[in-house]
Amino acid sequence: MTRPLADVGVYCLAGADLPLDDKRITKQVKDTGWTAGTIVRNDTFAVMRAGSSRGWGVAVVCGSGLNCAGVGPDGRVVRFPSLGDLSGDRADGGGWLGRAALGSALRARDGRGPRTALEKLVPLHFRMTRPSAVMEALYVGRLQERRLLELAPVVFRAATGGDAVSRELIANIADEVVVTANAAIRRLKLASRAFEVILGGGIFRSGDRRMLGRIRAGITDLAHRAEIVRLNAPPVVGAALIGLDEAQTSKAAQGPLRKALTEQRLKARR
């Protein structure tokens, strides 16, 4: 039998959305024999642990999709399925934003919606001349739907330039972040406590002040002592810290770990 490479392996994965995913993935990883112990969690838990100074709190990840998880000071856990329309998600991240941008461009072009800079910017991004050309390319498979994710920065630039439609789309995402985070806060009974809400993922890296301000206002309206924190560390830091928590190491070990796992050092190793 192969000797385990480590005492515990922590796998924080975007695809671990339901408890049944956790069980399935845990079994598959255990079968490899890589580590003596195995912890499988959704990637939101890594974001929360990496960004929280307390080791607990609420995290929202907004990249291609949107998800949220929370851990209370007593260890109680709240999570969401994050299965898109199937689980009732709305304005759920960059995938939705890309589709909405194309839809807004099409509606502006054919008169169903207000004029927007996206009418030109969306097809221009794909080196096309009309929004309908993008739609047709998607329909026949010349353009993969995942490429609509590329439109998120286009929408943010248009919003910065004053485009009202783009600003509304971004506001919709901000509102979904607030609704989801506040649901976790209520379920964990954190509204009267001081704690951190960690924001991670590509959408938040845009640094859009209107979006972040709207999120901050919406969350602190419920939880006045909440601190909104944009994650500035790689999420893998959170997975490593969860491993240290499991091993019950001293807090003194956390500092060297954070210094070792910076974005710069990780990029240098690739």
pLDDT in tens, 64-93: 999 999 999 999 999 999 998 999 999 999
Per-residue pLDDT at 250: 79
Per-residue pLDDT at 151: 98
Cα separation of 201 and 63, whole Å? 5
Cα separation of 205 and 63, whole Å? 9
**How many other C-beta atoms can be found within 10 angstroms of the C-beta atom of residue 55?**
15
Per-residue pLDDT at 68: 97
Across the strands, what pairs with 256?
A: none
Residue with tokens 């960690």: 198
Per-residue pLDDT at 247: 83
Per-residue pLDDT at 252: 84
In terms of pTM, does the model score above 0.85?
yes
Q: Which domains can be identified in the chain, with CATH numbers?
A: 1-44+234-270 (no CATH), 94-170 (3.30.420.40)
Closest CA to 150 of 69, 64, 91, 243: 64
Residue type, 128: M
In the chain, DSSP assigns E strands to 6-13, 35-42, 57-62, 66-71, 77-79, 195-200, 226-230
Per-residue pLDDT at 125: 98
Polymer length in residues for the chain? 270
Cα separation of 116 and 123, whole Å? 13
| CA distances in angstroms from 202 to 62, 72, 95, 195, listed in the order given | 7, 26, 11, 23
| CA distances in angstroms from 146 to 8, 97, 236, listed in the order given | 34, 12, 24
Low-confidence residues in the chain, pLDDT < 50: none
What is the DSSP secondary structure assignment for residue 4, as one 8-state letter?
A: P
Per-residue pLDDT at 1: 52
What pLDDT, in 10s, does the model give residues 10-42? 999 988 999 999 999 999 999 998 999 999 999
Per-residue pLDDT at 15: 85
Contact (CB, 8 A) for 12 and 45: yes
* Chain center to CA of 41: 14
- Rounded to the nearest 5°, which phi and psi values hold at 42? -70, 155
Is the dihedral angle over the CA atoms 152, 16, 244, 265 positive or is it negative? negative
